[in-house]
Chains A and B, each alone.
Chain A
């Protein structure tokens, strides 16, 4: 009996999806650590305050949006300006959500309303990468739900805790480019394995060039232009190949 209970509990809490999500999340958290510290440091040094900085982590749940909001609030920007800038910076979540939507189909109502809060660059990239690897079938709704919940909640807890650590260490942390390089390096680490397919290479090249050329546009617009150009280039390459 106790063996059965232990087996069932083990299956629920430590099933393959949960274990895989934890394993996938560990290097992501490591890569995001400097970025989270930077947000905590920025909140304190800009005068917005540690509490607001830490609270921004679970509420906004997206580093670039948080940095934008904190920087603008520190500069005395009004609600409309902050809202417009954060909306532009985070507009890519709309696209991520559209791409992730099949995983949310056939899920319980609570999951479809609450779990999209965890849509952000690392969780989107984790799911995209995991779908190409053997081990966990994310087309199965239960497997997707366990994987997504573990990844989203785990990342949220780590992200908030690390932001708090950054706020605490703000007076002693030196300014270093090592803090800035970690997040793009992590995105690069997620991108490179996807470049084996020709459409992905075409899409990545078009996105990078367009985003760089349009980077002078207001916050977030250049990135959106880059993403749009990349998707169009990859789709056209895919069509010509087939």
Chain B
């Protein structure tokens, strides 16, 4: 029941600015910001993940390879356009650091 109600609420968030009140009816000042949403959201997601693992509120001991793995992923993403390569590189670095430490 809890899961179904949560799913319905999430569906509501997804549908409100597409079907119920289409976003093109929003004020111009809000619409101007929408094209800039992607880099902000992606950077925010990465930052939240980093803080969750190595910040003061991390649940367990900090994973030494976490930041190193993401740094390598960033470099690989800058050099290559294939989005799979950074992920593979990050996972490989995380495993290597884990084995070595």
Most buried by A among B5, B77, B82: B77
With A60-B7, A113-B19 as contacts: A125 and B40 at CB distance below 8 Å: no
Shortest Cβ distance from residue A234 to the other chain B in the assembled complex, whole angstroms? 3
Category for how many chain A residues contact B: 35 or more
Per the 8 Å Cβ criterion, residues 216-231 of A in contact with B are 216, 222-223, 226-227, 229-231
Shortest Cβ distance from residue A111 to the other chain B in the assembled complex, whole angstroms? 10
Shortest Cβ distance from residue A60 to the other chain B in the assembled complex, whole angstroms? 5
Contact B40–A234 (Cβ < 8 Å): yes
**A-chain residues with CB within 8 Å of residue B23 when the two chains form the complex:** 97-99, 101-102
Give the interface segment out of A3-11, A139-147, A156-164, A195-203: A195-203
With A95-B41, A189-B77, A212-B51 as contacts: A178 and B91 at CB distance below 8 Å: yes
- A188 on the B face (CB < 8 A): yes
Shortest Cβ distance from residue B16 to the other chain A in the assembled complex, whole angstroms? 7
Contact A90–B18 (Cβ < 8 Å): no
- A193 on the B face (CB < 8 A): yes
Contact B38–A188 (Cβ < 8 Å): no
**A-chain residues with CB within 8 Å of residue B37 when the two chains form the complex:** 95-96, 99, 227, 231
Contact A97–B18 (Cβ < 8 Å): yes
Shortest Cβ distance from residue B7 to the other chain A in the assembled complex, whole angstroms? 4
Docked pose: A59 CA to B5 CA in angstroms: 10
Contact A238–B6 (Cβ < 8 Å): no
- A100 on the B face (CB < 8 A): yes
* Residues of B near any A CB (own CB < 8 A): 1-7, 9-11, 13-19, 22-24, 26, 30, 32-53, 55, 57, 63, 65-66, 69-70, 73-74, 76-78, 81-91, 94-95, 97-98
Could you list some 29 contacts between A and B, CB below 8 A?
A: A30-B88, A31-B84, A59-B4, A60-B6, A65-B10, A69-B2, A79-B1, A86-B10, A90-B9, A97-B17, A101-B18, A121-B45, A128-B38, A178-B98, A180-B53, A185-B91, A188-B90, A189-B83, A190-B83, A194-B39, A203-B40, A204-B43, A209-B47, A223-B44, A226-B47, A230-B36, A230-B41, A230-B43, A235-B36
